[in-house]
Amino acid sequence: MSRARAQSSVERLCEVMESIAPCSAAADWDNVGLLVGDPGWRLRRLLLTIDLTAAVLDEAIRAPADAILSYHPPIFRPGKRMIVDRGTAEGIAAEALSHRIAVYSPHTALDAAGDGTNDTLAGLAGLEGVEPFATSRSAMEQCKLVVFVPESHVDRVAEAAFAAGAGRIGAYERCSFRIGGQGSFFGTDATDPVVGRKGRLERVDEVRLEVVLRRSDLVRVSSAVRSAHPYEEPAYDVYALEPAALLGVGQGRVGRFRRSTRLAPLARLLKRRIGATVVSLIGRSTQTVRRGLVCVGAAGSLPFDLSDSPGPGDVIITGEIRHHDALRIQRCGAAAIALGHWASERPVLRPLAKRLSRALPGTTVSVSRADRDPFSCA
């Protein structure tokens, strides 16, 4: 067996998906990542779907698939039991487990990711200069801890920081940067220095150790660093990282059309490209649009969180829109295209399957044929 084939496992799938769509970029309310299964299970066949339905599970069993990547998480809220029951989403997930089929869900992490659901739909709409319009909160929470450590203790301090949650970048762990230098100090009579003596100026060869971490982990990581550090008063700095550190990761997308277009032709183009069955419009069919605001699934109030909120010349491209949000769009003079929740998200599966096939040699990756829009035309 080749080394690449031997590495195909559920754990490897998790690593690859973390590099494609980091779980930290998901919305706070979401439930993403590996939801069912054992990371150690072999991965020979992987099935991609928007929803884990009974029909999709039957397709996976027949394949037979070792894992299902279900965009929507079948396990969403905390539960007290896992019982096989096709009448509930959790019961279907339990049945998948009974067949040793793992389930991974990326959901809003894939919405936020580059080349994810929102970027895919923006590309199909013909938008250019596309950027997130709601930066992932996790990006705002990233920071960097810099600590100066004697050469003899740098590995010990680094491992303590890693164990506390620092040093994770995408699918990589224990990441750090180190550079040598010289530190100096003068210990007063109240000190008890580990290196040198108090009452005189000392110079020590030290290493500048840098690690990234989530701001929510800062207290735990800094406490671990202080405990592992040999000095009474270790010197360290904390730097906030700009949202750009995640290179365009964030919810929603905003871009401009190369040429202004009218609402109805744009809607027909999107309907044809994604295979939507029913498309709803807000605004006049002849309305001219120049800028597109994309949010797969349900846009909600997200487009209105922009500093440059929607107005005349803008079109919101999404899956579904609530009645009161539709009235709000009308009041501000913007337009909207609702493609259907499932239909707006489904286009990402084929390009994602190609990426996973390249990253998981020896694994057969396919898109579910049983996955269906729950809505149909009368």
How many other CB atoms are found less than 10 A from the CB of residue 160?
Answer: 19
Assess if residue 236 is contained within a domain. yes
Q: Say yes or no: 148 and 96 in one domain.
A: no
Q: Say yes or no: 120 and 191 in one domain.
A: no
Q: Say yes or no: 17 and 96 in one domain.
A: yes
From 57, 86, 107, give the residue that closes a domain.
107
Assess if residue 364 is contained within a domain. no
- CATH number for the domain harbouring residue 235: 3.30.70.120
Q: Say yes or no: 160 and 288 in one domain.
A: no
Distance, in Å, from the CA atom of 339 to the CA atom of 333, rounded to the nearest integer, reads 20
- CATH number for the domain harbouring residue 8: 3.40.1390.30
Assess if residue 372 is contained within a domain. no
Q: Say yes or no: 123 and 87 in one domain.
A: no
Q: Say yes or no: 271 and 317 in one domain.
A: yes
Q: Say yes or no: 37 and 93 in one domain.
A: yes
- Per-residue pLDDT 10s for the chain (378 aa) are 344 444 689 999 999 998 899 887 888 889 999 999 999 999 999 999 999 999 999 999 999 999 999 999 999 988 888 899 999 999 999 999 999 999 999 999 999 999 999 999 999 999 999 998 765 555 456 789 999 999 999 999 999 999 998 998 765 789 999 999 888 877 776 666 666 667 778 788 899 999 998 887 888 999 999 999 998 888 889 988 765 445 567 889 999 999 999 999 999 999 999 999 999 999 999 999 999 999 999 988 888 888 788 999 999 999 999 999 999 999 999 999 999 999 999 999 999 999 999 999 999 999 999 999 999 887
The domain containing residue 124 runs over which residues? 114-136+249-345
Q: Say yes or no: 215 and 256 in one domain.
A: no
Q: What is the pLDDT of residues 106-122, one digit of tens each?
A: 999 999 999 999 999 99
Kindly provide the residue ranges of all beta strands, DSSP E only, lying in the chain, ordered along the sequence: 33-36, 45-49, 67-70, 102-105, 127-131, 134-135, 142-150, 177-186, 201-214, 236-240, 250-251, 253-262, 280-282, 288-298, 314-320, 335-338, 364-367
Q: Say yes or no: 43 and 118 in one domain.
A: no
Q: Say yes or no: 299 and 156 in one domain.
A: no
Q: What is the pLDDT of residues 299-341, one digit of tens each?
A: 888 888 887 889 999 999 999 999 999 999 999 999 999 999 9
* Burial class, 325, CB count within 10 angstroms (exposed 0-12 / middle 13-18 / buried 19+): buried
From 196, 225, 246, give the residue that closes a domain.
246
Domain count, the chain: 3
How many other CB atoms are found less than 10 A from the CB of residue 252?
Answer: 24
Q: Say yes or no: 238 and 255 in one domain.
A: no
Q: Say yes or no: 125 and 268 in one domain.
A: yes
